[in-house]
C-alpha cells in the first residue's frame, strides 16, 4: 500500500519538479551568459 501511495505522490510532484528544474536551469544559463559580458567590460 505504501509504495503505491508514494508512486501517486511522485506522479503529482514530478511535473512540478520538472518545471522547477527547468526554471533553475534557465536562471543558471542566463547568469552564465552574463559572465562573458561582465568579463569583457572589466577587461576594457
**What confidence tens digit (pLDDT) does each residue in 3-37 have?**
888 889 889 999 999 999 999 999 988 887 776 66
DSSP secondary structure of 1-44:
-HHHHHHHHHHHHHHHHHHHHHHHHHHHHHHHHHHHHHHHHHH-
Q: What is the dihedral sign for C-alpha 7, 9, 10, 15? A: positive
What value does the CA radius of gyration of the chain take, rounded to a whole number of Å? 19
- Domain extents in the chain: 1-44
pTM to 2 decimals?
0.52
Amino acid at each position: 500500500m505504501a509504495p503505491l501511495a508514494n508512486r501517486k505522490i511522485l506522479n503529482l510532484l514530478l511535473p512540478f519538479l520538472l518545471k522547477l528544474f527547468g526554471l533553475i536551469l534557465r536562471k543558471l544559463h542566463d547568469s552564465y551568459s552574463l559572465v562573458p559580458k561582465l568579463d569583457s567590460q572589466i577587461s576594457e
